[in-house]
């Protein structure tokens, strides 16, 4: 079946030559990249038979999760002669490099490449591609893990169906959300519009697809570099499949600072990456109407998500303005007004405000949308003889609010009035105060107490019960008189009275 007739449901390989995957004037990283390393490279005896798959892992300060991944790779039921692991240590300064050396010493098919820190996952992945001699590569992150049958099943399916890219079913770890609706069933030849919903790199890719089309990761600090590569793979793939018959890949909630690309997102750079993907879609999809729809989908998923009320309103004003300016330029360049017809009314209204750079109107819309359902945030806590003095902030102005103390069994509860003030924080959030008295804490005895709030706005609308958010860096008091105020693993505020 030809390219034009097949594009809506799958893709045939183009005969028009090598595509322009990267814009060399914007970023000069299109040429194949080899392992530019200065340190130890542990060898792999390749023998005379090509392996089926190389698992490529960029590693930077990945402990303690790295061992869980490596154990899952040792446990694969695919013969160790038929796959290799290429772990690229990107200058880790924890024990990740040493742990990798231990595993490579005991597994003949594990290889470690130690290099100076590049500061981003792109170069380690390119080094892994260059070091591989396998039929397929699988891009894996150092703090995730694979099911024991994952590699064998993916390789067998790719060969049976002649797929160039296989998208395996993902399962979230530690509260990580995954696109469960994408993995309800196996699809041998998945439509481009559907598979573009998944731009993360954890895919099985035929290595020749990368080599023949000169597809590589950007090596500088480029956001969405994995999305740029995966969209290019989908565009050049003869067939892309979703494989949903097994729990293949377990992806973990990222802890800030623990992975290579944990730095704050810079709006202009992020939108430059969106621009690169959009240019490739418009260039390589012959159906113009479909191409325009794909760019709209891209903006809806990767652009509008920064305007989710809680997220957008938490940005500093200058960051909000940067997002609006960058996205307005993107809309002017790629999405004329007539192309927005398929957006929902609220999305369409917001997109038009972004196009017009109507900052105050956008803030008003988001404040109204967030209103009373937004969780309150702990700004600081002071523990003294009178109890705990809390400063809490809300995104929206409030008429009244209640602080709710509950034990983990939900058998005891204390309600405390929150004093509503007109003060604001640096990010324009509304600041309020509350006092948890000693008597309030005595109700619970030696238990853990979780803090919740219920708020009411000026119209009288009552919000839902929500946990008090306590992000990393919040000023909290030290343990005093057997009372510990702390942030939980999920970033919520609690009190430990068990001491």
Residues assigned a catalytic role: 226
Handedness of CA 141, 147, 152, 157 (dihedral sign): negative
CA proximity to 20, closest of 204, 282, 296, 290? 282
Q: For the chain, state the CA radius of gyration.
A: 26
Please enumerate in sequence order all residues whose Cβ is within 8 A of that of 475, keeping only pairs 6 or more positions apart, or say none: 379, 380, 381
Contacts (Cβ under 8 Å, ≥6 apart) of 249: 140, 144, 145, 146, 147, 150, 168, 169, 170, 171, 202
Distance of CA 370 to the CA centre of its chain: 23
Pick from 367, 376, 259, 241: nearest CA to 312: 367
Quote the CA–CA distance of 163 and 145 in Å, as a whole number.
23
The Cα 371–Cα 37 span in angstroms is 52
- Which residues touch 106 (CB under 8 Å, ≥6 apart)? none
Minimal CA–CA distance to 276: which of 330, 208, 335, 320? 330
Q: Which helix (H) or strand (E) holds 250?
A: strand 249-252
């Amino acid at each position: 079946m030809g390219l034009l007739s097949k594009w809506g449901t799958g893709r045939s390989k183009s005969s028009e030559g090598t595509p322009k995957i990267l814009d060399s004037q914007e970023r000069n990283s299109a040429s194949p990249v080899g392992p530019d390393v200065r340190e130890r490279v542990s060898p792999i005896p390749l023998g005379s038979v090509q392996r089926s798959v190389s698992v490529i892992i960029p590693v930077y300060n990945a402990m303690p999760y790295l061992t869980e991944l490596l154990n899952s790779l040792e446990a694969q039921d695919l013969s160790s002669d038929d796959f290799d692991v290429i772990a690229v240590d990107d200058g880790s300064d924890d024990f990740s490099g040493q742990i990798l050396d231990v595993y490579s010493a005991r597994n003949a098919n594990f290889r470690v490449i130690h290099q100076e820190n590049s500061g981003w996952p792109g170069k380690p992945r390119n080094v892994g591609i260059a070091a591989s001699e396998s039929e397929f590569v699988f891009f894996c992150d150092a703090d995730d893990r694979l099911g024991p049958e994952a590699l064998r099943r993916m390789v067998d399916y790719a060969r049976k169906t002649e797929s160039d890219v296989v998208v395996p079913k993902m399962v979230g770890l530690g509260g990580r959300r995954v696109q469960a609706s994408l993995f309800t069933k196996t699809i041998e030849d998945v439509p481009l519009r559907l598979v573009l919903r998944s731009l993360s790199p954890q895919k099985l890719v035929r290595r020749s697809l990368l080599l023949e089309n000169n597809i590589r990761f950007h090596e500088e600090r480029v956001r969405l570099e994995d999305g740029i590569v995966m969209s290019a793979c989908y565009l050049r793939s003869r067939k892309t499949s979703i494989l949903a018959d097994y729990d293949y890949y377990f992806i973990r909630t990222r802890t800030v600072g623990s992975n290579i690309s944990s730095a704050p997102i810079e709006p202009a750079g992020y939108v430059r990456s969106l621009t690169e993907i959009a240019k490739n879609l418009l260039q390589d999809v012959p159906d113009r109407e479909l191409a325009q729809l794909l760019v709209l989908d891209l903006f809806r998923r990767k652009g509008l998500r920064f305007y989710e009320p809680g997220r957008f309103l938490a940005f500093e004003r200058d960051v909000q303005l940067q997002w609006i300016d960058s996205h307005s330029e993107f809309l002017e360049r790629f999405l004329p007004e007539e192309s927005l017809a398929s957006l929902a009314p609220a999305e369409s209204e917001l997109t038009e405000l972004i196009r017009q750079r109507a900052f105050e109107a956008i803030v008003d819309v988001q404040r109204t949308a967030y209103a009373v359902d937004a969780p309150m945030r702990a700004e600081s806590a002071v523990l003294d003889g009178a109890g705990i003095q809390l400063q809490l902030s809300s995104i929206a102005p409030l008429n009244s609010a209640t602080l709710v103390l509950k034990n983990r069994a939900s058998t005891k509860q204390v309600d405390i009035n929150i004093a509503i003030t007109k003060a604001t924080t640096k990010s324009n959030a509304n600041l309020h105060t509350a006092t948890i008295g000693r008597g309030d804490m005595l109700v619970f005895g030696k238990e853990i107490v979780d803090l919740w709030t219920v708020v009411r706005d000026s119209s009288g609308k009552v919000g839902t019960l929500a946990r008090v958010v306590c992000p990393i860096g919040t000023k909290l008091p030290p343990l005093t008189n057997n009372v510990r105020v702390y942030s939980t693993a999920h970033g919520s505020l609690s009190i430990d009275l068990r001491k």
